[in-house]
Amino acid sequence: MRKKHYFIAVPIPLEIRERLAALQSQLKESLSFRNWVHQQDYHITLAFLGEASFIQLEQVKQAMEQIAKSHRSFMLTLDKIGTFGNRLAPRILWQGVKEEPKLYELRDDVYRACIDIGFSLDKRPFAPHITLARKWQGEHEFDVTKVNNIFENKDKNEKFIVERIVLFQTHLDRTPKYEPLFVFPLLL
């Protein structure tokens, strides 16, 4: 039996998920990634928790309720497409968002609360993104110009409102993989 993993994230609204899925369809025609993320799984991770006990999940729930009550909804704007890992054979292809201080403040509060609960979290700097694909497997080296050519025809400045954060559970044997367990609305 696989262990259950959890994370806290900003969900992506339907209209943005649909636009990203259309972009993803175009990218699939010319890019060879092993796994393409299902559109219902698009999100911006604030804290990956990994495994969690029932008590820890209850503590997370209480902490996120308080954090959500201390943050107002805010706008995010889609930005560039990028990669993580080797630039010629990337591990992750992602859609970025423009820097927004309110997102960083929210993430800092979520991160701190999870550390206080006892989770060991990723220490890398926060790089907000929406994962589109994983594991380059092309016969040739990855060419970012193909992505940029497709992306040039898209509206890079698409905006959406962040109204909630969500505690998700991961199901590696299903598609979509991420199940929302608890939703925490931000202040309007």
- Of the residues 5, 43, 71, 140, which is catalytic? 43
Rounded CA separation 160/41 (Å): 17
Q: Which residue has the tokens 């993104």?
A: 129
- 43 included as an active-site residue: yes
Q: Is the pLDDT of residue 10 over 90?
A: yes
Rounded CA separation 183/33 (Å): 31
Q: Is the pLDDT of residue 148 over 90?
A: no
**Which tens digit of pLDDT belongs to each residue from 26-68?**
888 888 899 999 999 999 999 999 999 999 999 999 999 999 9
Query: pTM to 2 decimals?
Result: 0.93
Q: By residue range, what is the domain housing residue 16?
A: 5-185
Q: By three-state DSSP, how is residue 118 classified? A: coil
Residue 143's pLDDT band (cuts 50, 70, 90): confident
* Percent of residues, the chain, with pLDDT higher than 70: 93
For the beta sheet containing 74-84, the strands, ordered from the edge strand earlier in sequence to the opposite edge, are: 33-36, 129-136, 92-97, 74-84, 159-162
- Of the residues 5, 38, 71, 129, which is catalytic? 129
Instruction: Look up the CATH number of the domain holding residue 153.
Output: 3.90.1140.10
- 140 included as an active-site residue: no
Q: Which residue has the tokens 């992306």?
A: 151
Number of domain units in the chain: 1
